[in-house]
Every structure is written in structure tokens, then in C-alpha cells.
Amino acid sequence: MSDIGLSDNDLVLLAELAKGVTVDRVGRRLDISGRTVRRRLRGICDRIGVATAIEAVAWAARRRLI
């Protein structure tokens, strides 16, 4: 887990979204449900202080985490 509170799995999830993969397809790739992906995204957004998944992807990309 990074010092910002994001796990490697969180970063993988954001990286997949950055590639343009849909939430449901990310879930299938990570062997979790789309609903779980959405719940994890909400947690990621809350931890880093952004409102949307797009902002979370941009936030991680700016910091070269993905």
C-alpha cells in the first residue's frame, strides 16, 4: 500500500479505467463484480479527495502512479 492509502489493486483498477476499459469489464478482468468495482472506486475517490472516477484516474496519472 502506498503512503497515500491506495493499494496495488486500487492502482490496477485505475490503470484499467485509464485504458478506457468499462467498469463491468474491469470487474471481469479482476474477477470481481461491477458493483464491487464501483464500491472500490467510491472508496478510492473518498481517500484521495475527488468526486468522480475520471478525476481519480487523472489524479493518479498526474502523480505517475498509473
Domain annotation for the chain: domains and CATH numbers: 8-62 (1.10.10.10)
What pLDDT score does 2 carry?
Answer: 52
What pLDDT score does 4 carry?
Answer: 72
What pLDDT score does 33 carry?
Answer: 95
Whole-model pTM: value is 0.88
Nearest to 16 by CA among 2, 28, 33: 28
In sequence order, what are the residues at sequence separation of 6 or more whose Cβ sits closer than 8 angstroms to the Cβ of residue 39? none
What pLDDT score does 1 carry?
Answer: 53
Yes or no: say if 37 and 43 are a contact pair by the CB < 8 Å rule: no
Query: pLDDT tens digits for 21-60?
Result: 999 999 999 999 999 999 999 999 999 999 999 999 999 9
